[in-house]
Amino acid sequence: MSDAIKIDIWSDIACPWCYIGKRKLEYGIAEYEGDEGAVPVEIEYHSFELSPDTPVDFHGSHEEFLATKGFPPEQIGPMLERVTGIAASVGLDYDYGNLKHANTVLAHQLIHYAKARGMQLEAKERLLKAYFVDGRQVGTIDGLADLAVELGFDRDDVVRSLSSDEYLADVRADQQTAIAYGIQGVPFFVVDGKYGVSGAQDPATFAQVLRQVTDEKTEVGA
């Protein structure tokens, strides 16, 4: 059996659990790939905006941003400390002190731009790292163009694409599919088109789902 397993992932650049979930999925895939009967795993990311009303460039701290979303101020510090600790457990060095809040719709367009050129996974990783680790600007055309150059893309062409909303329709199509699936929070993983996994689950959970799908494909092909 050689049929690959497809994993469709809805996530947002500004979602801390999405980056953590990405790492846990990667660890789970690595565990699964150690199995004798493992098959290739293909990943495709889809756009989801957790906070589409966020300004292009929010001038304020992360704590101030969360306060505008209704989080009790006394709970914000402990919550961020917990998330930072979980991120560190999977090798991610979150830096909330330098994080620059931004609207992510242009970042999603850049990921679609990269997808059309066979670089979606690299772009997704770079943008998540830029946001949560490097404190880079991911909401403006200039900021995104700078990051795109690091990925090997032509800066002028990226500026052209983002300025014209070339991939905005693709972003909206992803969002409509999420609505059709009933996805209300991210990360959300759809494995082989039929199993939904919500949240940043442990690597073993992802590995087990992949094994289950592999078993089912083997039975069908028998």
Question: Which structural domains are found in the chain, ordered by start?
Answer: 5-221 (3.40.30.10)
pTM as predicted: 0.94
Q: What is the pLDDT of residues 165-177, one digit of tens each?
A: 999 999 999 999 9
pLDDT of residue 54: 86
The runs of H, that is alpha helices, within the chain are 16-32, 62-68, 73-89, 105-115, 120-132, 141-150, 155-163, 168-181, 203-221
> What tokens appear for 210 in the block?
């992949």
CB atoms inside a 10 Å sphere around CB 182: 8
Q: Walk along the chain (222 residues) in steps of 10 and give the mean pLDDT of each run.
A: 86 97 98 95 97 82 87 92 98 96 96 98 98 96 98 98 98 97 96 96 97 89 54
CB atoms inside a 10 Å sphere around CB 83: 16
Q: What is the pLDDT of residues 43-69, one digit of tens each?
A: 999 999 999 988 877 788 888 888 888
Give the end-to-end CA distance of the chain in Å, rounded to a whole number: 9
Which residues does 14 contact at the CB level (< 8 Å), separation at least 6?
Answer: 50, 51, 54, 101, 102, 104, 131, 138
Q: Which residue has the tokens 């992932």?
A: 9
Specify the 3-state DSSP secondary structure of 144.
helix
Put the strands of the sheet holding 195-198 in their side by side order. Answer: 41-47, 5-11, 188-191, 195-198
Q: Are 139 and 99 in contact (CB under 8 A)?
A: no
Q: Are 198 and 185 in contact (CB under 8 A)?
A: yes
pLDDT of residue 221: 62
pLDDT of residue 1: 43
